[in-house]
Amino acid sequence: MAITQSNIYESLTEQTAIALAIKLRIFEEGKVLYCKEIGDGNLNLVFHIYDQDEEKSIIIKQALPYAKVVGKSMPLTLQRATIESNALKLQASIVPDLVPKVYYTDESLAITIMEDLSHLTIVRSGLIDNFDFPILSKHIGEFIAKTLYHTSDYALHPFKKKELVRQFSNPELCKITEDLVFTDPFFNSESNDFEEELLPDAVEIWQDFKLKLEVAKLKKSFLTEAEALLHGDLHTGSIFADIETTKVIDPEFSFYGPIGFDIGQFFANLLFQYITSKEESKKEKILSYIENTWHVFSATFSELWKESLDSYTKVEGYLEYILDKSFKDSLGFTGCELIRRTIGLSHVKDLDGIEHYDERIQAKRRTLDIGSFLIKERKQFSSIDEVIFSLKTFSKE
Ligand code: SR1
Ligand code: MG
């Protein structure tokens, strides 16, 4: 992978993206190239470039100096492109089959050129369209367990671990999560965004001091526990998949945080489909994805734990303590993600895509209720089966 610093930053257009691909000789000389900007995320430009015979294609991802979803009033560091490409590179050394290949990066232009995954489906859209992803939970359970274990103090020499903590210091993107996930939705903040009908539900959240105390504890974990290198934004829009392949993309929010965070974000984004689906069989399938993700995560992590050279990992009960803490934390983080995607700044199409207005409001109310419940009651749960049982009971009430 080449990394250069040869250019002055300028945001690309479809034409200049093609010119860059030609300059870098990524395609055979003389081929006619086509390009389309396909970015539908909140922050970046994404160019899909392919040749006339559709034999070769690439993705050029470029960070903008501001958050696309808000505009120039929300400036944002270009350094996130470097964090993202370094995280992809590190993840590739641990789980090469579960991340896209990086071909080239340019820090000054804030670009990463990578494998085109457009033959796969973004999991959020696929789930909304009722696709099956039979291997997804196994792959994500492994992705989380392996990337987190291998970047933690359980696996690394303390000097290496601290060097990585420094390398992946990501204050601006962490601040987005601190505000948008942990703070704004729980207060009457300007950034919040919800339908008028949900105002009484939002006010109930803002006045629920038991809930806010628990969110404060979760935010404290996020702020202070440099346990492992997280993906940092592991929602279903950050995963491409089909029936046999899974690729995790977009780790620009990567930083050292608590193990439960990635798990919680993934659980929450699956739960949107559990909450909005009307079909019993689909609801069961979503719950089975959640259950299996946890089982694969804990089994894989426990297996890797045996390799640890840290003396304390041999002490009876320590692994169980780490797993139990991560499990309870993950339920709390799930709740925060459910609530923020409902009344906070950045929404999801699982909820906003429900065309019938009353149905959408009802789905959002259920999301807020489940979110608050998981945050407040997370410590009661000691197994994923209990959580699944409780979610089923919750839906019937
Ligand atoms: C202003 S950025 C909003 C959200 O988009 C990203 O994908 C993260 O989830 C962030 O919170
Ligand atoms: Mg993203």
Find the residues whose C-beta lies inside 6 A of ligand 1: 41-43, 67, 69-70, 176-177, 180, 233, 346
Which domain-ending residue is among 95, 115, 135?
Answer: 115
Angle, CA of 318, 324 and 327, to the nearest 5°: 140
Structure-token match 């209720």, residue found: 369
- Give the ligand with the smallest distance to the CA of 344: 1
Are both 220 and 277 inside the same structural domain? yes
Are both 135 and 276 inside the same structural domain? yes
C-alpha of residue 69 to centroid of ligand 2, in Å: 11
Task: State how beta strands 57-63 and 111-115 pair.
Answer: antiparallel
Instruction: Look at residue 1 in the predicted model and tell me its pLDDT.
Output: 45
* Nearest atom (ligand 1) to Cα of 177: 11
C-alpha of residue 311 to centroid of ligand 2, in Å: 38
C-alpha of residue 346 to centroid of ligand 1, in Å: 6
- Give the ligand with the smallest distance to the CA of 63: 2
C-alpha of residue 351 to centroid of ligand 2, in Å: 18
Are both 169 and 311 inside the same structural domain? yes
Buried b (16+ CB within 10 A) or exposed e, 142-165: bbbbbbbbbbbbbbbeeeebeebe
- Give the ligand with the smallest distance to the CA of 39: 2
Closest residue to atom 4 of ligand 1, CA basis? 346
Q: What CATH number did the domain enclosing 366 receive?
A: 3.90.1200.10
Q: Which of 174, 346, 348 is the pocket-test mutation for ligand 1 (most atoms within 8 Å of CB)?
A: 346
Which domain-ending residue is among 58, 84, 115?
Answer: 115
* Nearest atom (ligand 1) to Cα of 43: 2
Are both 81 and 227 inside the same structural domain? no
**Structural domain count of the chain:** 2
Q: What CATH number did the domain enclosing 26 receive?
A: 3.30.200.20
278 DSSP assignment: -
CB atoms within 10 A of CB 36: 11
Instruction: Look at residue 6 in the predicted model and tell me its pLDDT.
Output: 57
Closest residue to atom 5 of ligand 1, CA basis? 42
Task: Tally the C-alpha atoms within 13 A of residue 265's C-alpha that lie toward its C-beta.
Answer: 23
Are both 291 and 387 inside the same structural domain? yes
Which domain-ending residue is among 90, 115, 140?
Answer: 115
Instruction: Look at residue 69 in the predicted model and tell me its pLDDT.
Output: 84
C-alpha of residue 190 to centroid of ligand 2, in Å: 22
Contact between 297 and 348 (Cβ < 8 Å): no
Residue-by-residue pLDDT tens, the chain, 397 positions: 454 555 689 999 999 999 999 999 999 999 999 999 999 888 999 999 999 998 999 999 999 999 988 889 999 999 999 999 999 999 999 999 999 999 999 999 999 999 999 999 999 999 999 999 999 999 999 999 999 999 999 999 999 999 999 999 999 999 999 999 999 999 999 999 999 999 999 999 999 999 999 999 999 999 999 999 999 999 999 999 999 999 999 999 999 999 999 999 999 999 999 999 999 999 999 999 999 999 999 999 999 999 999 999 999 999 999 999 999 999 999 999 999 999 999 999 999 999 999 999 999 999 999 999 999 999 999 999 999 999 999 866 6
- What is the interface pTM, i.e. ipTM, of the complex? 0.98
Are both 273 and 296 inside the same structural domain? yes
Are both 281 and 336 inside the same structural domain? yes
* Nearest atom (ligand 1) to Cα of 176: 11
What are the angstrom distances between the C-alpha of 346 and each of 177, 189, 318? 11, 13, 37
User: Domain of 271?
Assistant: 121-396
- Give the ligand with the smallest distance to the CA of 80: 2
CA–CA dist 85, 390 (Å, integer): 40
Coil/strand/helix, residue 355? coil
Instruction: Look at residue 5 in the predicted model and tell me its pLDDT.
Output: 53
Are both 99 and 129 inside the same structural domain? no
C-alpha of residue 233 to centroid of ligand 2, in Å: 6
Are both 162 and 254 inside the same structural domain? yes
Instruction: Look at residue 8 in the predicted model and tell me its pLDDT.
Output: 87
Are both 186 and 92 inside the same structural domain? no
CA–CA dist 20, 22 (Å, integer): 5
Structure-token match 């046999």, residue found: 244
